[in-house]
Structure 1
Amino acid sequence: MSQSFLIKPEIASGTMIDNRYIIQQLLGHGGLGRTYLAFDTRRFNEACVLKEFAPTGSGENALEKCRNLFKREAKILHHLEHPQIPRFLACFEGDGRLFLVQEFVDGKTYSALLRERQNQGRAFSEGEVIQWLKNLLPVLEYVHQHNIIHRDISPDNIMLPEGKNLPVLIDFGVGKQIADLNEGSNAYHMTFVGKMSLVGKVGYAPREQISLGLCSPSSDLYALGVTAVVLLTGRDPSFLMDQYSLEWRWHFYTNVSNDFAQVLDKLLADTPKQRYQSSKQVLAELQRLGQPQVIPQSTILDLPTTVIANPSQAGARGYSHNQDPETIVSSPISSSQKQQTPEIKPQTQPQQSSLNPAFIQRCQQELAYYIGPIASLVVEETLAETPHVSPYQFVEFLAAEIADAAAAFEFRKRLFS
């Protein structure tokens, strides 16, 4: 085969390939080739996707690499049978070209869906993204159980089929089989891919994948986390990361619950060891979101606590910032003590704050980043004492609860940037 194999021109619409597939239009192209919409004349002109492998380059080494990638993807797709992954239909070589045939997904990518939201001045809500993650994580778990890492998760490679509500994971052209994933003794086992086969979209792929060619299931989870915050904020990853510290600053552009923010931050951890190691772990965390934390009765009886009938009335500033408000419980009171306990009259309803509820929630979330769960009590007490405080004064009161001056300055900046 000649070297011209690597530089074939784009296939024109109407061209019949392999005496079977009629090219309709070009769907996309990248470093490894082109993707076409085609009709299968042997299946009543059923729509399908024809993926041509034609990476740019020259020489026998490039040709052999192209063949190996082609065979690898065909083998990967052949073993994947999941309703949220396009079916593999065929593979062949013809006219000096390599082709894969896959099921056509009639729908929109999440990039397109996000653009539609942005045109309306909004992005995806917290509830929508949580459900989206719950729908996608089982697919990723299935892929990883088959010793495959997708390595190119982004809004462009996730689709929502027309008339359906389950997302579909597409484009396994950069999939990478990993050996003994479930049998290795190292919980953080990773596979070296090699610089010549580095793939993944900058901004979505983690540092170890882009810089070192290392990938693991946590690499896919990182990219899934990036995609989630992009859908939440409507902003490109380059806008969500500090260019100097390389720390994620997605919190600036959206308001989500503290618990969900912690899940996203762990997905986006820079070090693979600090991330979730499996999709099951993430799913378990998402299932617990919003569920009350119940302390067993036996644990309560063993706690040497002070009786506090209502923690919110105790005054947040009287507690240590490291104290967990969930451990503030009422200790058992004997019948004789109950008789001596004066009746507590109900307090009058506190005045309604003039501040925007969304702004209050964001202040609480940002304060919790610095002082922990006690932030909710601090916010509650501040609002009770000064219900008609201005936004600036409110932030100043909260900043005073942060011991470190630099951290207090950063807190103010994050709220008014």
Structure 2
Amino acid sequence: MSQSYIIKAEIPSGTMIDNRYIIQKLLGQGGLGRTYLAYDTRRFNEACVLKEFAPTGSGENALEKCRNLFKREARILHQLAHPQIPRFLACFEGDGRLFLVQEFVDGKTYSFVLRERQDLEETFSEIEVIQWLKSLLPVLGYIHQHNIIHRDISPDNIMLPDGENLPVLIDFGVGKQIANLNENTTPDHMSFVGKMSLVGKVGYAPREQISLGLCSPSSDLYALGVTAVVLLTGRDPSFLMDQYSLEWRWRSYTKVTNDFARVLEKLLADTPKQRYQSSKEVLTDLERLGQFQVMGSSTVLDFPSTVIEQKSQPTFTTRQPHYQYPQTTASSARSSYSQQQYPVIEPQPQPQPQQSSLNPAFIQRCQQELAYYIGPIASLVVEEILEQTPQISPYQFIEFLAREIPDASAGVEFRKHLFS
């Protein structure tokens, strides 16, 4: 990977990327790259988000981290199909840059919504936050059932789409795919994945995640609880925690019922064992709060002029992921969250890049054929197989690719096309 990933400047408005996407404007910028609003000329100029991965640091470590995050987010987004998670549309490399393409969510982050409230000397009410939690907890339950931990939940990474009622969870760039359950895992470790990179927003991520790199579904629930008290109080987490005892002192900044306070305190428990272990547990306790069963036919949730109808959570069909990750089986992905165990994962050494012995035109044709069956994730599948087995024969290469196609008959068809 060349140094061009570091020195590339912001892409000007009006630039055509990959002969398809027209850059409209810069949406955001951080240490690992930029996010652009773009129009997809092959989909009637539909708005989309181009996420460019390009670290601002230097050296091989920064470059490798950038590429790993690019692959990680592409894999995670590819297997998720939920109405409250932006759709993954494509991934590609062009002009010395790495790009992910996602559905564009036209709306505001909850950080922005909270600032609007504060300008009016208001914050979110107890009823609003309860409804907000009920809307987001099923999303967390969904990603946890797919063995994914978000690890970066905060008001910046939750959006309220314009004209919509349900919040949307965004930015899976530091999300983590967890290995399949291990029958020998002890109860004391069943919720944890160890020795990860230390990621997460300080103040929102729990102590074990920031200090040790350990995270679990309960750490996502902790961050959701912190976000909830921030919406209630309008204060940064640093103001809500005692600097000497490191205990939460958020209740003095807002008024909530004791029953709801107990739910929040359990979400914010410092010890993972004392927290809720699943979204379902939190939802069960929220439903038991009798005073919030029904208060008229609607409840204000986002803006003073917007009303949210209290409806049951929407149902949808889960898309079976095409690309199966190492140590993750279809049965473990389908197993209920309450039965899952999360073993410690040792970091795997990165393979040294080697030159492939296959003809580039042949590789491109294989990738195009594979993309027909499994979509844009095909480029990453091809890349990883070549990295792991650079001296692979054409026959073996086709066989490896065919195994990534979930449907057996489609795999046979794929082989026939390429062997012919």
Q: Deviations over 1:263-283 (max 9, x none)?
A: 000100111111101111101
Q: CA deviation at 1:56?
A: 2.6
Cα distance 1:32–1:273, how it changes in 2: closer, same or farther (>3 A)? same
Aligned to 1:190: 192
Which amino acid is 2:242 matched to? D
Contact 1:181 1:189 in 2 (8 A): no
Contact 1:147 1:181 in 2 (8 A): no
Aligned to 1:57: 57
Q: CA deviation at 1:137?
A: 0.1
Contact 1:20 1:42 in 2 (8 A): yes
Q: Deviations over 1:348-385 (max 9, x none)?
A: xxxxxxxxxxxxxxxxxxxxxxxxxxxxxxxxxxxxxx
> Which range moved further: 48-57 or 133-142?
48-57
Q: Does 1:268 align with 2:288?
A: no
Q: Deviations over 1:36-61 (max 9, x none)?
A: 11111111111000001111333334
Q: Does 1:232 align with 2:232?
A: yes
Q: CA deviation at 1:181?
A: 5.1
Which amino acid is 1:189 matched to? S
Q: Does 1:170 align with 2:146?
A: no
CA–CA separation in structure 1 for the residues paired with 2:40 and 2:186: 46
CA–CA separation in structure 2 for the residues paired with 1:271 and 1:217: 13
Q: CA deviation at 1:182?
A: 8.6
Runs of 4+ in structure 1 off by over 4 angstroms are: 181-185
Cα distance 1:59–1:268, how it changes in 2: closer, same or farther (>3 A)? same
Q: How does 1:12-411 map to 2 (within 5 A)?
A: 12-180=12-180, 186=187, 188-194=190-196, 197-290=197-290
Q: CA deviation at 1:166?
A: 0.6
Which amino acid is 2:18 matched to? D
Q: Deviations over 1:259-316 (max 9, x none)?
A: 1000000100111111101111101110111279xxxxxxxxxxxxxxxxxxxxxxxx
Which amino acid is 2:194 matched to? F
Q: Deviations over 1:58-79 (max 9, x none)?
A: 3334323322221111111000
Cα distance 1:182–1:100, how it changes in 2: closer, same or farther (>3 A)? farther
Contact 1:22 1:41 in 2 (8 A): yes
CA–CA separation in structure 2 for the residues paired with 1:5 and 1:96: 6
Q: Deviations over 1:303-344 (max 9, x none)?
A: xxxxxxxxxxxxxxxxxxxxxxxxxxxxxxxxxxxxxxxxxx
Structure possessing the higher relative contact order (Cα contacts under 8 Å, 6 or more residues apart): 2
SS in 1 for 2:227: helix
Contact 2:191 2:217 in 1 (8 A): no
CA–CA separation in structure 1 for the residues paired with 2:29 and 2:193: 27
CA–CA separation in structure 2 for the residues paired with 1:291 and 1:105: 33
Contact 1:18 1:94 in 2 (8 A): yes
Which amino acid is 1:153 matched to? I
SS in 2 for 1:160: strand
SS in 2 for 1:122: coil
Aligned to 1:346: none
Q: Deviations over 1:356-415 (max 9, x none)?
A: xxxxxxxxxxxxxxxxxxxxxxxxxxxxxxxxxxxxxxxxxxxxxxxxxxxxxxxxxxxx
Which amino acid is 1:44 matched to? F
Q: Deviations over 1:119-140 (max 9, x none)?
A: 1111000000000000000000
CA–CA separation in structure 1 for the residues paired with 2:13 and 2:181: 43
CA–CA separation in structure 2 for the residues paired with 1:148 and 1:156: 19
SS in 2 for 1:64: helix
Which amino acid is 1:275 matched to? R
> Which structure has the larger Rg over C-alpha atoms?
1
Cα distance 1:290–1:182, how it changes in 2: closer, same or farther (>3 A)? farther
SS in 1 for 2:93: strand
Q: Deviations over 1:118-172 (max 9, x none)?
A: 1111100000000000000000000111111101101111111111111100111
The unaligned stretches of length 5 or more in structure 2 are 293-420
Q: CA deviation at 1:180?
A: 2.5
CA–CA separation in structure 2 for the residues paired with 1:181 and 1:105: 34
Q: Deviations over 1:86-106 (max 9, x none)?
A: 000000001111000000001
Aligned to 1:390: none
Cα distance 1:95–1:114, how it changes in 2: closer, same or farther (>3 A)? same
The unaligned stretches of length 5 or more in structure 1 are 293-417
CA–CA separation in structure 2 for the residues paired with 1:278 and 1:36: 34
Across the aligned residues of Structure 1 and Structure 2, the Cα RMSD in angstroms comes to 1.6
Percent identity over the alignment is 84
CA–CA separation in structure 1 for the residues paired with 2:56 and 2:265: 38
SS in 2 for 1:48: strand
CA–CA separation in structure 2 for the residues paired with 1:62 and 1:201: 19
CA–CA separation in structure 2 for the residues paired with 1:139 and 1:35: 23
Q: CA deviation at 1:84?
A: 0.4
CA–CA separation in structure 1 for the residues paired with 2:118 and 2:275: 30
Which amino acid is 1:192 matched to? G
Q: CA deviation at 1:16?
A: 1.1
CA–CA separation in structure 2 for the residues paired with 1:61 and 1:257: 49
Q: CA deviation at 1:199?
A: 1.6
Count of residue pairs brought into register by the alignment: 290
Contact 1:193 1:215 in 2 (8 A): no
Normalising by structure 1, report the TM-score.
0.67
